[in-house]
Amino acid sequence: MAHFNVKLVSYISRMKNSPLILDTKPVSYFIGEGALSHSSKVLENFTRFIILFDENVRTHCLPILREKVPAVAMSDVICIESGENKKNLDQAVYIWNELTRLNVDRDALIINLGGGVITDIGGFAAATFKRGIQFVNFPTTVLGMVDAAIGGKTGIDFEHFKNQVGLFVDPVSVIIDPIFLDTLEDKQWQSGFAEILKYGLIIDRDLWRILYGKKYREIGDLNKVIIKAARDKIDIVKHDFKEKGIRKNLNFGHTIGHAFESHFLLSGHPVTHGQAIAAGMICEAWLSCQLFEFDPSQLDEIVEMIDANFQRLDVNESHIPQLLNLMRQDKKVRHGKLNFSLLKKIGKALHNVEVLPSLVVDSIKYYINT
Ligand code: GLY
């Protein structure tokens, strides 16, 4: 059963052809086709809106928001530069300056319109300005819709460390409308798909069954898949907002995956987050096989599915020492130990599994040699 805490999330409505509406206090979620049109329910409690986005979103998504949500059409806007490398203190200062220039007070609502960078930095800037202004997330990417916009992680990168400064703070609401995905580049679509696969593996075998055998551009009922994946994340963070336990399961594929991501960034040939996490999931599924009674045929299934959707990364054995060093710098390392979230079986994960570096090395060799 994927949704282990359905009772926690009070279910408001799901009429045919309307979005799923969940009121999880303090956050309300509107998920699925038509969600934008329903967002007026949230916005009617506010009289002033400031929309934050980047230059890509300005071109592709802002017109859609303005058309579908007339209440915000004439709002003040703040546009920042796009890119993970722009999720920094300078841009946070820029947002605070703009909020000051626009005389924004605590009665206003900040609308974060964009992917993970916008919801991270926008939530952070809002939560710290004048000791906290309320904000709402309108994710426009797959990754944002099923992950970054949900769960209250906000922050910026600092001194080369990802998400080094930030806070857990919930938005008032998250409005997830797949309408924006028509504007998404293929590469970004593929990147988000890795996170959707992850929910199938860690918590939602039913979702895995829906996806298995398909390519990311071939998903028939995209609306259903986005709703299921977002719902999985909501269930997890509702249980464990501050990541003391079950939320750590979301790190499956990420301990080795983040090392791949940093390695390729440092080498000047960056890969997307999803490409890196997909590779990390192969390594960590292999680790699951070594440490638990994880069925090898399920490992084959995972490898087959990931290979059908992601090109293998150009890694060789000479990269392994740097990959291990990068893992040791990760926030998930405690007291120098490499900690993993691994799989017991497809649809069930567990966290705080300590793995010897030699076995981690073998898992990367498995990735390279199979
Ligand atoms: N993206 C992982 C988390 O929200 O905990």
Confidence (pLDDT) at 170: 97
Distance 148 CA to ligand 1 centre (A): 7
Cα dihedral 61, 188, 20, 243, rounded to 10, equals -120
Percentage of the chain lying above the pLDDT 90 cut: 86
- Pair 261, 352: CB distance under 8 Å: no
**Whether residue 129 has pLDDT greater than 80:** yes
- How many other C-beta atoms lie within 10 A of the C-beta of residue 14? 13
Closest C-alpha to ligand 1, atom 4: 151
Element (H, E) at 23: strand 20-23
List, chain by chain if needed, residues with CB within 6 Å of any ligand 1 atom: 147, 151, 153, 243, 247, 250
- Per DSSP, 334 falls in state B
- Pair 316, 368: CB distance under 8 Å: yes
State the closest ligand 1 atom to the C-alpha of 150, by its place in the atom list counted from 1.
4
CATH of range 185-370; options 1.10.10.60, 3.90.1150.10, 1.20.1090.10, 1.10.287.810 = 1.20.1090.10
Distance 298 CA to ligand 1 centre (A): 25
The yes/no answer on whether domain 11-183 falls in CATH 3.40.50.970 is no
- Tell me the C-alpha distance between 354 and 359, whole Å: 11
The average pLDDT across 192-197 equals 98
- Tell me the C-alpha distance between 296 and 285, whole Å: 9
- Pair 230, 203: CB distance under 8 Å: no
- Per DSSP, 345 falls in state E
Residue of 195, 250, 261 to test ligand 1 pocket, by largest number of atoms within 8 Å of CB: 250
Given this chain, do its domains 11-183 and 185-370 carry the same CATH topology? Answer: no
Phi-psi region of 317 (alpha: psi -120 to 50; beta: other; left: phi over 0): alpha
Interval 319-367: pLDDT, tens = 999 999 999 887 667 677 799 999 999 999 999 999 999 999 999 999 9
- Tell me the C-alpha distance between 150 and 317, whole Å: 37
State the closest ligand 1 atom to the C-alpha of 147, by its place in the atom list counted from 1.
1
**Of all residues in the chain, what percent are helix, strand and coil, respectively (each to 5)?**
50, 20, 30
Distance 71 CA to ligand 1 centre (A): 31
- Tell me the C-alpha distance between 139 and 143, whole Å: 8
pTM of the model: 0.93
Distance 154 CA to ligand 1 centre (A): 10
Type of residue at 340: F
Distance 92 CA to ligand 1 centre (A): 21
Confidence (pLDDT) at 70: 95
Closest C-alpha to ligand 1, atom 2: 250
Distance 150 CA to ligand 1 centre (A): 8
Closest C-alpha to ligand 1, atom 3: 250
State the closest ligand 1 atom to the C-alpha of 243, by its place in the atom list counted from 1.
5
Beta partners for residue 153, in sequence order: 168
Distance 146 CA to ligand 1 centre (A): 10
Give 233's contacts (C-beta < 8 A, 6+ positions apart): 146, 147, 150, 151, 199, 250
Domain ranges of the chain: 11-183, 185-370
**Residue 17 binned pLDDT confidence (cut-offs 50, 70, 90):** low
- Tell me the C-alpha distance between 276 and 194, whole Å: 9
**Residue 2 binned pLDDT confidence (cut-offs 50, 70, 90):** very low
